[in-house]
């Protein structure tokens, strides 16, 4: 309490916060257009969908993220879904987290260009939120019809007049790819165990930057065809599929913010070593 009372109304922490907000906001208002190189990781994912995935394949897309993670994951999801739709893939969206129905509707509204010309039930279906975590993922692999009776909007899964694409899609073997867009780490493990190991279905990861190091071992062990991490990968994929989305819009701000943080780290280290080098003043009054 006493510490808080002594706190300055505008201390160093506030200066750093303010500088960070300025470094993010200014490039958004006045974009510089810094060049973006395509990493081999993103290129591999693009090449797999473009050259290896058969046109018209069924793809499961698990949207497992909350509002806060939209900024990093929604641009990835939109760019990859655009690519999959261009290959006439049939997409079965599902969510194993309660926020799924909201983020799916937001994805549809912010990426309306991606869904334009695609018909619900014929080109894509949304199964809604399916509770149960890993057992639910396992159950979906065994049988979608046996897991959920209706889609998110109450249409029966077996009503093939409303959901004609579901006539030939039921179990893991009917899918050629699973695209997991998740803000958590566990989700990827569920699919590696229940879809890849048990059924050998190729997986594609869409993750937050911070999750990237945790799931990279799966990609290195060839348990997933590749991964996209954060806004950087989203921006690269947007370049590849020719869609100007949030990923590209964010890149200048990301670069400026990172440069600022690097400067902070350098200054912090210089101050640390400079103060450490000084001899300590003799303590007064200590026996």
Partner 1 sequence: MIELIGGWLAAVMIVWIYSFVYKDNVLYRLAEHLFVGTAAGYSIALSLDSLNRTAFGQMAKGMEYWHLIIPIILGLTFFFKYSKKYYWIARYGVGINVAVGAALALRAAPMANIIRQINATILPLWVEGDPLKTFNNWLMILITLGGLTYFIFTFFPKTEGKAGPVNIVYKALVTIGIYGMMVGFGYLFANTIMTRVGFLIGIILQYLQPRFDATVVAMILAIIAIAFAVMKKK
Stretch that binds partner 1, among 45-53, 85-93, 140-148, 159-167 (CB under 8 A): 140-148
Candidate list 12, 55, 221, 284; residue touching partner 1; CB under 8 A:
221
User: Any contact of residue 31 with partner 1 (CB under 8 A)?
Assistant: no
- Provide the minimum distance between the beta carbon of 129 and partner 1 in the complex, in angstroms, as a whole number: 5
> Buried b vs exposed e over 21-52: b needs ≥16 C-beta within 10 Å?
eebbeebeeeeeeeebeeeebbeebbeebeee
DSSP code string of 167-183: GG--SGGG-SEEEEEES
- Provide the minimum distance between the beta carbon of 114 and partner 1 in the complex, in angstroms, as a whole number: 16
User: Any contact of residue 189 with partner 1 (CB under 8 A)?
Assistant: yes
Ranges of H-type helices in 111-185: 112-115, 133-142, 144-147
Q: Which two tokens stand for residue 213?
A: 């190091």
Candidate list 28, 34, 259, 267; residue touching partner 1; CB under 8 A:
28
Cα 156 from Cα 158, distance rounded (Å): 5
| Contact between residue 103 and residue 66 where contact means Cβ atoms under 8 Å apart | yes
State the DSSP code for 279. P
3-state class of 33 per DSSP? Answer: coil
User: Any contact of residue 148 with partner 1 (CB under 8 A)?
Assistant: yes
Report the site for partner 1 in 162-181 (rule: CB under 8 A).
Answer: none
Residues near 44 by Cβ (< 8 Å), separated by ≥ 6? Answer: 225, 226
Cα 211 from Cα 182, distance rounded (Å): 9
If the CB atoms of residues 121 and 128 are measured against partner 1, the closer one turns out to be 128
Count the site residues for partner 1 by CB under 8 A: 61
Candidate list 220, 275, 279, 280; residue touching partner 1; CB under 8 A:
220
Candidate list 15, 22, 34, 210; residue touching partner 1; CB under 8 A:
210
Cα 120 from Cα 124, distance rounded (Å): 5
Question: What are the CA-CA distances from residue 45 to residues 196, 227, 260 (Å)?
Answer: 17, 7, 31
- Provide the minimum distance between the beta carbon of 217 and partner 1 in the complex, in angstroms, as a whole number: 6
If the CB atoms of residues 198 and 271 are measured against partner 1, the closer one turns out to be 198
User: Any contact of residue 261 with partner 1 (CB under 8 A)?
Assistant: yes
Interacting residue ranges for partner 1, rule: CB under 8 A: 5, 9, 14, 17, 20-21, 24-25, 28, 68-72, 98, 101, 110, 128-135, 138, 146-150, 189, 192-194, 196-198, 208-213, 217, 220-223, 229-232, 246, 249-250, 253-254, 257-258, 261
């Amino acid at each position: 309490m006493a510490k808080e009372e002594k706190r300055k109304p505008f201390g160093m922490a506030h200066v750093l916060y303010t500088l960070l907000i300025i470094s993010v906001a200014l490039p958004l208002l006045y974009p510089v257009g810094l060049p973006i190189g395509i990493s081999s990781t993103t290129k591999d994912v693009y090449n797999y969908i473009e050259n290896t995935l058969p046109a018209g394949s069924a793809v499961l897309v698990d949207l497992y993220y909350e509002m806060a993670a939209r900024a990093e994951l929604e641009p990835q999801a939109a760019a990859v879904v655009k690519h999959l739709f261009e290959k006439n893939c049939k997409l079965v969206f599902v969510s194993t987290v309660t926020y799924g129905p909201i983020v799916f509707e937001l994805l549809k509204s912010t990426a309306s260009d991606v869904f334009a010309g695609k018909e619900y039930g014929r080109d894509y279906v949304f199964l809604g939120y399916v509770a149960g975590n890993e057992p639910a993922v396992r159950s979906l692999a065994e049988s979608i019809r046996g897991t959920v009776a209706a889609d998110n909007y109450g249409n029966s899964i077996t009503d093939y007049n409303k959901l004609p694409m579901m006539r030939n899609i039921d179990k893991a073997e009917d899918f050629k790819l699973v695209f997991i867009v998740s803000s958590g780490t566990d989700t990827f493990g569920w699919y590696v165990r229940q879809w890849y190991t048990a059924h050998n279905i190729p997986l594609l990861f869409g993750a937050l930057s911070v999750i990237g190091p945790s799931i990279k071992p799966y990609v290195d062990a060839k348990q997933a065809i590749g991964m996209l991490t954060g806004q950087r990968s989203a921006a690269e994929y947007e370049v590849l599929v020719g869609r100007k989305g949030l990923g590209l819009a964010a890149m200048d701000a990301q670069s400026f913010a990172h440069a600022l943080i690097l400067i902070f780290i350098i200054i912090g280290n210089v101050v640390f070593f400079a103060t450490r080098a000084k001899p300590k003043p003799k303590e007064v009054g200590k026996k």
